[in-house]
Amino acid sequence: MEDRKNRQGGRPVARAATKYTAFKVKEGAELMEFLMKEMSGISRTRVKALLTNRVVMVDNNIQTQYNFQLKPGMVVKVSREKNKHEFRHKLLDILYEDAYIIVVEKKEGLLSVATERQKERTAQHILSEYVKRQHPGNRIYVVHRLDRETSGIMMYAKDEKTQRTLRDNWHDIVFDRRYVSIVMGDMEKDQGTVRSWLTDRTLYVSSCDYDDGGKLSITHYKTIKRANGYSLVELNLETGRKNQIRVHMQTLGHPVVGDSRYGCEADPLGRLALHAFKLCFYHPVTGEMMQFETPYPAPFKNLMLRK
């Protein structure tokens, strides 16, 4: 009993309260099955609630997939501290997270990646601070970007190996990446493709219809609706160059609403009318098909209501 009380020199030694209940994985199993066995009496509904509330960690990474495959030697922890891992930010929502990737929806006005001028007010920094609360050694790795003025779905990696896998195999892994935009004027075609070579000139991106040394860029578009002098357009990127959609819409003579850099003087929404609403890919580690989609932004719909 004396040892259990951990006395030293006749006085109790202060010890921090355990923040987690930890379980060592001895044989392979799905996370749901494992937790129901280890936490005897717990229901499937309760396990799903724990996962949804982001309080289950596998090897110090939050895990939300009930069917995540555990391997011998892994350590599963269930937090005893309520709200410790909750994430709330007015410019960023987490749509999905596991040990390898994190999928988010960012609002317009937020940089995707840190720059020399802006390091803290970025999605990368916000998410880095969040994962460091789980474990000080955790980091966020950039895979792709959205312009500051563009809102929508994007993905980050949580380790360098996953980052490399995604970057090196992006076109094999990502099979559907779509945007919605409102552009000026009535689009002439119901659908079409813009193909040009883009060159980053730092302050803007130039477009050329022949190979002038720039990067080949291909955008497929479909006109959803025409109303009030605007067109609602859905865009599917075959390549992902800087400012690609914005430049290609200007090339067609229909710049994105609110895009003063590329020829639009109208700004009825007080923001760039461009939103990445769909991202579908094969998980870089498990191979599972992942599909994320958000509704068209309400202001976009309102602007297109016939008057």
Residues acting as catalytic residues: 147
Nearest-angstrom CA–CA distance, 216 and 193: 13
- 30 contacts: CB under 8 Å, gap ≥ 6: 66, 67, 68, 69, 70
Nearest-angstrom CA–CA distance, 66 and 245: 37
Report DSSP letters for 195-248, one per residue.
EEEEEE-SSSEEEESS-SSSEEEEEEEEEEEEETTEEEEEEEESS--TTHHHHH
Report DSSP letters for the chain, one per residue.
-TTTTTEETTEEPP-PPP-EEEEE--S-EEHHHHHHHHSTT--HHHHHHHHHTT-EEETTEE---TT-EE-TT-EEEEESSTTTT---BTTEEEEEE-SSEEEEEEPTT-BSS--SS-SSSBHHHHHHHHHHHH-TT---EE-----TT-EEEEEEESSHHHHHHHHHTHHHHEEEEEEEEEEES--S-SEEEEEEEEEE-SSSEEEESS-SSSEEEEEEEEEEEEETTEEEEEEEESS--TTHHHHHHHHTT-PBTT-GGGT----TTSS--EEEEEEEEE-TTT--EEEEE-PPPHHHHHHTS--
- Residue 268 in tokens: 């009825």
